[in-house]
Chains A and B, each alone.
Chain A
Amino acid sequence: MGKFVLIKPTLKVNNVDLSDHASQVTVETNADDVDVTGFTETYHEHAVGLRDATMTVDWFQDFQPASVNATLWPFVGGANAGGTVEIVVRQADVTSGTASYTMTSRIFNYQPLQGGVGAAATINTVFNNAGTAGLVYGTA
């Protein structure tokens, strides 16, 4: 995969393809910065602490069955069951060099309706890591 313009990644939530309702995505992983500097050292020594990961998605909200709200609601309603989020990025018309990111996640803040008169009803959700594997990077 060379340089590319993000045009048509596939975005699945609990194996439901919602790519036709997503317009922006950010995949992020980070780690706590733990200072382990000793008394005799002249530079800070940083160690990697606990890791975390999120996927943030902008959606065009849709209340039809099997669409955005129906798919996201189990992540936040009731027992907050969570689920799997997967994004697969590939350059148009290229079958190799595909990258995928998968994560078991939960949503802790869900606003099912945002917007004003005359604007498309869009929402933003942050999928937080909820599994021991964290953000899993794959290739194909």
Chain B
Amino acid sequence: MSVAVRRSLYGKLAGDSTLTAMLGTPAPGYNQSIYYQQAPAEAGFPFVIFQKMAGTPIYTFKAGHAAIDNEVWMIKGVDRADTPDTVDAVSSRLDALLTDGALSIAGATQMYLRRESDVDYPETADGQKYLHSGAQFRLMYE
């Protein structure tokens, strides 16, 4: 289900004009500054990164597939700046979109989606400061 979930999350984020208006210029070949797992080197700032951090299937006696998939996704904004105002605004928008937000997961029914723990830290590389702000979201679907 990872493909369907990944696409549903991307669709949710990319379909929000308020969020996309906050983001930088997409890297060549991309429609939005929203990237899965890793941003390309040419990505403009700020951008959004999302990736699955954990997935725990819950089984019943019925054979074939998990009854419930219980996943944690890290979804965060990344900015190259000295002030966190912009990346914090991206983070707030992500929360507004995703906590209790509805996803369209092909072949599955969403049961739960909420912000579970915040992700907020600075990073310095080659003398440049980067700011990360977002959260880990728990997603359950059957």
Complex Cα gap A10–B59 (Å): 14
The segment from A20-28, A99-107, A129-137 that touches chain B is A20-28
Pick the contact of A120 from B61, B62, B116, B140 — CB < 8 Å? B140
The main secondary structure of chain B at its interface with chain A is strand
Instruction: Determine the residue in chain A with the shortest Cβ distance to B61.
Output: A19
Residue among B61, B112, B138 making CB contact with A20, cutoff 8 Å: B61
Query: Does B59 contact A118, Cβ atoms closer than 8 Å?
Result: no
Residue B63 lies at the interface, judged by CB distance under 8 Å to chain A: yes
- Bound CA–CA A10/B61 (angstroms): 7
Contact code string A1-17 (vs B, CB < 8 Å = 1, else 0):
00000011111000000
CB under 8 Å from chain A, chain B span 69-94: 70
B110-142 to A contact mask, C-beta < 8 Å, 1/0: 011010100000000000000000000010100
Residues of B with C-beta under 8 A to A73: none
Q: Is B68 an interface residue (CB 8 A)?
A: yes
A25 to B116, CA, bound (A): 31
Q: Check A22–B114 contact: CB distance below 8 A.
A: no
User: Is B61 a contact partner of A23 (Cβ separation < 8 A)?
Assistant: yes
Secondary structure call for the A interface? mixed
When distances are taken between beta carbons in the complex, the residues of chain B under 8 Å from A21 are 60, 67
CB of B6, distance to nearest CB on chain A (Å): 22
B96 contacts partner chain A, Cβ-Cβ < 8 Å:
no
Q: Smallest CB-CB separation from A92: which chain B residue? A: B63
Q: Is the Cβ of A8 less than 8 Å from the Cβ of B68?
A: no
Which of the residues B60, B63, B114 comes within 8 Å of A118, measured between beta carbons? B114
Which chain A residue lies CB-closest to B58?
A120
For A9, give the chain B residue with the smallest CB separation.
B61
- Bound-state CA distance A9–B59 (Å) is 12
CB distance from B66 to the nearest CB of A (A): 11
On whether the beta carbons of A20 and B58 are closer than 8 Å, the reply is: no
In the complex, what distance in Å separates the CA atom of A23 from the CA atom of B58? 9
